[in-house]
Amino acid sequence: MMIFQDLIESIEALSFEEQDYLWELIRKRRIEQRRGEILANAEAVKLAFREGKAKQGTVDDLMADLLEDEDETGLE
């Protein structure tokens, strides 16, 4: 199993062009992962809304609800 330092050394052994390509590839994959997370969250919210489980109201209503939850858990 490759340890982190070995990985760094392997990357440093690459040419600058290869390193740039690797960073770009990693960046694009992270973007795609994040898009997948956002999509999953959106689908969960839509399902909760359809099932009537989503909280609705004005921003002030939602803030008051959040503050009430904090008071109940002892967070301040």
Phi, psi of 58 (to 5 degrees): -75, 170
- The full length of the chain comes to 76
Q: Which residue has the higher pLDDT, 13 or 74?
A: 13
Give the Cα separation of 19 and 43 in Å (integer): 36
Task: Please check the confidence at residue 75 and state whether its pLDDT lies above 60.
Answer: no
Handedness of CA 42, 26, 9, 12 (dihedral sign): negative
Any idea where the domains of the chain sit in the sequence?
Answer: 15-73
- Tokens 């904090």 correspond to what residue? 70
pTM over 0.75: no
- pLDDT score recorded for residue 44: 96
